[in-house]
């Protein structure tokens, strides 16, 4: 935990990792999580959520929630993404997650993004692979978003959201072409706009 250790050496005590999930998806919210890990009790197996299986992510998510000093998950919905753009919506979701921590953090490590948050912070490129607390946040955000997609799959089963989690896979784009977008698709994204144009 080199980044966390460097922050502790500067006098910070509650160091949060923050990361998001779902920036590239065509459907639904972008999720973010913030996690303060206990430095004296490392959690084994933490890694970039994209490099873990679904079962590994779910098991680690439960362990993070049990042992973290604090954790929080937040989101910015498709309407906020379309209104602000995905980068600003991601920053909004990350700020919401950080501000929801209880106890609050006094330093934030974020994955390659600077937060709209007044406290001290550091953006770490490829942070989900280089910082254990950012990796923990990436796991919580990914698991929460996948669970959200599974719930929406029950509402819109013809789109296959439980399979592709809203990302622009061939079967998702084929469903968009066949059915058009739902009200929870991101209309600022080119494949969704194209589906709207074809439907006219």
The string of pLDDT tens digits covering residues 71-86 is 999 999 999 999 999 9
Average pLDDT over residues 20-24: 97
The answer to whether position 187 is within a domain reads: no
CA gap 170, 173 in Å, rounded: 5
Helix (H) / strand (E) element for 36: namely strand 30-36
Report yes or no on 190 lying in a domain.
no
Q: Is 170 inside any structural domain?
A: no
Cβ(11)–Cβ(97) below 8 Å: no
Q: Is residue 197 part of a domain?
A: no
Crossing angle of helices 132-155 and 2-9, in 10° steps, is 120
Predicted confidence (pLDDT) at residue 30 exceeds the cutoff of 90: yes
Range of the domain at 135: 2-154
Residue 72 inside a domain? The answer is yes
Examine residue 166 and state whether it is found in any structural domain, yes or no.
no
> How far is C-alpha 14 from the chain's CA centre?
21
pLDDT digits 0-9 by tens, 141-179: 999 999 999 999 999 999 999 999 999 999 999 999 999
CATH code for position 12: 3.30.420.10
- pTM of the model as a whole: 0.96
86 lies in some domain: yes
Average of pLDDT values for 15-36? 98
pLDDT in tens, 134-151: 999 999 999 999 999 999
On whether residue 193 sits in a domain, the answer given is no
Report how far apart the first and last C-alpha atoms of the chain are (Å, whole number).
53
Contacts 24+ apart (CB under 8 A), 160-166: 161/27, 161/28, 165/22, 165/25, 166/22, 166/25, 166/26, 166/27, 166/28
Domain count, the chain: 1
Write out pLDDT tens, residues 43-75: 999 988 989 999 999 999 999 999 999 999 999
Helix 190-199 to helix 170-179 angle (10° resolution) is 30
Locate all alpha helices (DSSP H) within the chain, ordered by sequence. Answer: 2-9, 54-67, 78-84, 86-99, 127-130, 132-155, 161-164, 170-179, 190-199
């Amino acid at each position: 935990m080199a980044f966390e250790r460097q922050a502790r050496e500067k006098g910070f005590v509650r160091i949060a990792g923050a990361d998001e999930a779902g920036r590239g998806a065509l459907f639904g919210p972008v999720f973010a999580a913030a996690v303060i890990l206990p430095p004296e009790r490392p959690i084994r197996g933490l890694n970039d959520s994209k490099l873990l299986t679904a079962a590994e992510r779910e098991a680690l998510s439960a362990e993070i929630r049990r042992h973290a000093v604090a954790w929080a998950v937040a989101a910015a919905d498709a309407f906020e993404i379309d209104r602000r753009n995905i980068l600003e919506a991601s920053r909004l979701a990350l700020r919401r997650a950080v501000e929801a921590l209880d106890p609050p953090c006094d330093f934030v490590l974020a994955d390659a993004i600077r937060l709209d948050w007044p406290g001290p912070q550091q953006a770490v490129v490829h942070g989900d692979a280089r910082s254990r607390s950012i990796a923990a946040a990436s796991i919580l955000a990914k698991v929460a978003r996948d669970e959200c997609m599974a719930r929406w799959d029950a509402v819109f089963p013809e789109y296959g959201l439980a399979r592709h989690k809203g990302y622009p896979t061939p079967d998702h784009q084929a469903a968009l072409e066949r059915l058009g977008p739902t009200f929870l698709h991101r209309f600022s994204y080119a494949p969704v706009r194209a589906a709207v144009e074809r439907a006219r």
